[in-house]
Amino acid sequence: AQTVTQSQPEMSVQEAETVTLSCTYDTSESDYYLFWYKQPPSRQMILVIRQEAYKQQNATENRFSVNFQKAAKSFSLKISDSQLGDAAMYFCAYYAGGTSYGKLTFGQGTILTVHP
């Protein structure tokens, strides 16, 4: 079974600075997908960024980028120019693709605090 591990229960960053959230996963699949979701205090689950395992290029969405290391099974999220609105719980998630019918496996989450 696939597992996803976020080893940082909490992180903090100063406004305008950069922070990196870590995620590792375990799988025997060669083709899969990885996601970062943001959960603000409102409880909404908001998709931040996604990465296809077959793509070597790291995904980027505005201030958010990932460092995808397939051999190391690592998928970290970098937030640049942090803003107060980035404060939230962040979840890393894995999707096996194929016949897994869209099922996601989530990490434990990292609470990000942004200091003004």
Site residues (vs another protein, CB under 8 A): 4, 6, 9, 33, 35, 42-45, 47, 50, 52, 91, 95, 100-109
Closer of 55 and 81 to another protein (Cβ): 55
Q: How far is the CB of 53 from another protein (least distance, A)?
A: 11
SS3 of residue 86 by DSSP: helix
Closer of 17 and 37 to another protein (Cβ): 37
Closer of 82 and 110 to another protein (Cβ): 110
CA distance 97 to 105: 12
Q: How far is the CB of 81 from another protein (least distance, A)?
A: 25
For residue 80, give the amino acid letter: S
